[in-house]
Amino acid sequence: MLGKGVVGGGGGTKAPKPSFVSYVRPEEIHTNEKEVTEKEVTLHLLPGEQLLCEASTVLKYVQEDSCQHGVYGRLVCTDFKIAFLGDDESALDNDETQFKNKVIGENDITLHCVDQIYGVFDEKKKTLFGQLKKYPEKLIIHCKDLRVFQFCLRYTKEEEVKRIVSGIIHHTQAPKLLKRLFLFSYATAAQNNTVTDPKNHTVMFDTLKDWCWELERTKGNMKYKAVSVNEGYKVCERLPAYFVVPTPLPEENVQRFQGHGIPIWCWSCHNGSALLKMSALPKEQDDGILQIQKSFLDGIYKTIHRPPYEIVKTEDLSSNFLSLQEIQTAYSKFKQLFLIDNSTEFWDTDIKWFSLLESSSWLDIIRRCLKKAIEITECMEAQNMNVLLLEENASDLCCLISSLVQLMMDPHCRTRIGFQSLIQKEWVMGGHCFLDRCNHLRQNDKEEHQRQLSLPLTQSKSSPKRGFFREETDHLIKNLLGKRISKLINSSDELQDNFREFYDSWHSKSTDYHGLLLPHIEGPELKVWAQRYLRWIPEAQILGGGQVATLSKLLEMMEEVQSLQEKIDERHHSQQAPQAEAPCLLRNSARLSSLFPFALLQRHSSKPVLPTSGWKALGDEDDLAKREDEFVDLGDV
C-alpha cells in the first residue's frame, strides 16, 4: 500500500539498518517543483515579531491516505515561531477556515511549543542539540501539542540549511532571559488593551474585590476574610497580593514565616465546610526553632479547630500522594505514544497499544488524582469536614487537587467563565511555577522542575473553547473516567469504606444534589482523551464520525428550536423586527471528522485506513489456532 521509494540515501553508500524511512517517491517531488516559484505565501508577523532566519526550497511532508507527499516552500524562524510558507494553505475552503487559529497558522510552531528536534542523517534519526558539525537531510520537529513536522532539506542550499537549522536549534534550545520572551516585545508593540465585557469576564483575583465576590458567591464570608497584608508583595512574592484566611487569624501571623504555615482559603461548600491549603514551614534542624514553629502551628490549629469551624482533616500531598517526578516520567512516556512519524509506526504500535498505554502509567495517575479529589469531596460533602491541603509550597498538587474538587462540587466552575476564573484563582494566583514547570526559559539544569502538572487537570476536562465546555466536561468527567481503591494510597479502611459508599451511592442515584459531579474511575471507564491526543494523527481520524457527529446534531436541533422560538415571538410581536439569526456553528456537519476541528486541516479522501501490521503470536493458544473449525475429514468428496 505504501510507496517504498526512499528519498535520499546518499548515492551509492549502503546505509546500515535505517531507523527512519521516508515514503515520498522521488517523482512526486519533481512534479511539484515547478510550482515553487509560482506561489509565494507571505509571512504574517505579529506586532513586535522579527524574522531571524529563513531557507527556501524546503519540502514539507504531508500525510494523505497513508501516503506521504511533499509540498515546497520557505521555512522561516522568527523570535516567536517557526513557520513554513508553502502553497497548501491556500487550498483551505470556507468550512476549514471557520475554526482557524488566527495567531498560529497550520504550519506555525511557536518556539515554546517545540519539544524535541531530530535530524535524519543517512536514514538515521538523531536528536539535534547544540552546535552541529554536520547538517541533516531532514528535520523532524516534535511539538508539545503533539504535532509532528517533517521538513526535507535535500533541495535547499547548503548555506541556508546551516542557517535555518542552527537558528532553529538556538532559538528553541538556548537559555533565555525572562525579558527576552516574545510576549514582552509583543505587548510593547501591540498596546492594545481590549475592554472586556464586565458581566462576562473572567475573575482575575488580583483585587480584594474579586476575592470578596468569590467569598460571597460561595457564602464563605461568614467565617473567612480577604486580607491585603501582602499588598505590593511585602510579605511574600509567592503569594498573591490578596487572599483569604479564617476570620480570627491575626494578619501578623502571615508575616511570621513569609506566608508559610498559614491556612489559605480555596473554596466553601454549600454546607459551610471549606477547602484550605497551606504551605509547609521550612524544615529546620535546630530544636529551638522547631519549638517556635510548633507553638506557631499549635496557635494556627487552635484557631481553625475551634467552632464555628468544622473539624479539619489534613491531607499531606507531599508525602501521601503522587510525586512530581512520577507525573513527569509518566507524561514523557505517554506523549511519546502520540508523536508518530508515519503510518508504519502507527500500525506497528497499534497491536500493543493497551500495554504501551498501561506502561506509561498516565491513566493510573489521572485515576489517582480523581480519586483523591473524590475522597476530599466526600469529606466535605458527606462528613461536613474542612479539608486542609498541605504541600511544600502549596503550588503544585494543591492547585491540581483543589481545582478538581471545585470542578466536582461547584457547577459554576463548569461554565466557561467559571473555569477560566478557577484557573486564574488556583493556578495563576495560586503561584504555580509555570515558568519552571514548563521550562519557558529553557534552563537545562532545571530539568527536574519541568512537570506537566496542569495536564492531569485538563485531561479530566476539556479546553474551554467555543462554548462546548459544559457538555464536554460533563461527558469527560462522567463517562471517560472511572474508580478503584489504589493500593498505593495509604488510607485507613474506614476512609475507604466512606469513599466507597459515597461513590457508589452517588453513581447509583440518578438525582444529583447540589450540582455534585463525580467521575467514574473504574479501569474500563478511564479512557484516553482522543480529541486531544489523537488529533494530529490522520490514521486515527474517523471521517464523518466520532462524538462530534452527535454534538453537531444537537447544535442543529438547538438552532431549529431557537428559530421556532423566534417565529413564535414574531407572531406575538408582529411589528417587532426579527432577531438576527443565531450564528451557525457547524454547517455542513455531515462530513466532520472525529477530530474536528483539528483534523479538518488534513486533507482526506474517502479511502479507508487499513492496518498494515501483522498478527501477534497467540502464545498458549497456538494449538487451538491450528485446529479446524469442524472435525470432519473432507478427504474424498
Site for another protein in 521-550 (CB under 8 A): 522-525, 527-528, 530, 534, 539-547, 549-550
Site size toward another protein, by CB under 8 A: 100
Task: Note whether 33 binds another protein by CB under 8 A.
Answer: no
User: How is residue 480 annotated by DSSP?
Assistant: I
**Stretch of 104-112, 114-122, 243-251, 573-581 lying at the interface with another protein (CB under 8 A):** 573-581
Task: Note whether 1 binds another protein by CB under 8 A.
Answer: no
**Stretch of 43-51, 374-382, 398-406, 561-569 lying at the interface with another protein (CB under 8 A):** 561-569
Is the CB of residue 243 less than 8 Å from the CB of residue 208? Answer: no
Task: Note whether 510 binds another protein by CB under 8 A.
Answer: yes
Task: Note whether 17 binds another protein by CB under 8 A.
Answer: no
Site pattern 219..258 for another protein (x: CB under 8 A): ----------------------------------------
Which of 19, 562, 579, 588 touches another protein (CB under 8 A)?
562
- Helices in 269-381 by DSSP H: which ranges? 287-305, 324-336, 343-350, 353-360, 362-381
Grid cell, residue 235, equals 510579605
Q: Quote the radius of gyration of the chain (alpha carbons, Å).
A: 28
Site pattern 430..469 for another protein (x: CB under 8 A): -------------------------------------xxx
Which H or E run includes 183?
helix 182-190
The contacts of residue 122 (CB under 8 Å, 6+ apart) are: 8, 9, 10, 13, 15, 137
Grid cell, residue 53, equals 532566519
Identity of the residue numbered 577: A
Which of 306, 564, 587, 588 touches another protein (CB under 8 A)?
564
Task: Note whether 630 binds another protein by CB under 8 A.
Answer: yes
Task: Note whether 67 binds another protein by CB under 8 A.
Answer: no
**Minimum distance from residue 498 beta carbon to another protein (Å):** 10
**Minimum distance from residue 56 beta carbon to another protein (Å):** 37
Partners of 313 in the β-ladder: 387
* Rounded distance between C-alpha atoms, residue 127 and residue 145, angstroms: 19
Task: Note whether 578 binds another protein by CB under 8 A.
Answer: no
Site pattern 362..381 for another protein (x: CB under 8 A): -x------------------
**Stretch of 87-95, 167-175, 233-241, 518-526 lying at the interface with another protein (CB under 8 A):** 518-526
* Rounded distance between C-alpha atoms, residue 17 and residue 46, angstroms: 44
Task: Note whether 629 binds another protein by CB under 8 A.
Answer: yes
Site pattern 313..352 for another protein (x: CB under 8 A): ---------------------------------xx--xxx
Interface with another protein in residues 586-625 (CB under 8 A): 590, 594, 606-611, 614-616, 618, 621, 624-625
In 3D space, the residue among 217, 404, 226 whose CA is nearest the CA of residue 322 turns out to be 404
Site pattern 70..99 for another protein (x: CB under 8 A): ------------------------------
Could you list the beta-strand ranges (E) of 35-123: 51-64, 67-78, 81-86, 108-110, 114-121
* Rounded distance between C-alpha atoms, residue 95 and residue 586, angstroms: 9
**Minimum distance from residue 333 beta carbon to another protein (Å):** 14
Q: Given its phi and psi angles, is residue 197 left (phi above 0), alpha (psi -120 to 50 degrees) or beta? A: beta
* Rounded distance between C-alpha atoms, residue 494 and residue 500, angstroms: 10
Task: Note whether 199 binds another protein by CB under 8 A.
Answer: no
Give phi and psi for 503, each to the nearest 5: -65, -50
Specify the residue, 197 or 636, whose C-beta has the smaller distance to another protein: 636
Grid cell, residue 463, equals 479546553
The contacts of residue 148 (CB under 8 Å, 6+ apart) are: 140, 141, 142, 339, 340, 341, 536
Partners of 108 in the β-ladder: 83
Specify the residue, 351 or 441, whose C-beta has the smaller distance to another protein: 351
Task: Note whether 507 binds another protein by CB under 8 A.
Answer: yes
Task: Note whether 201 binds another protein by CB under 8 A.
Answer: no
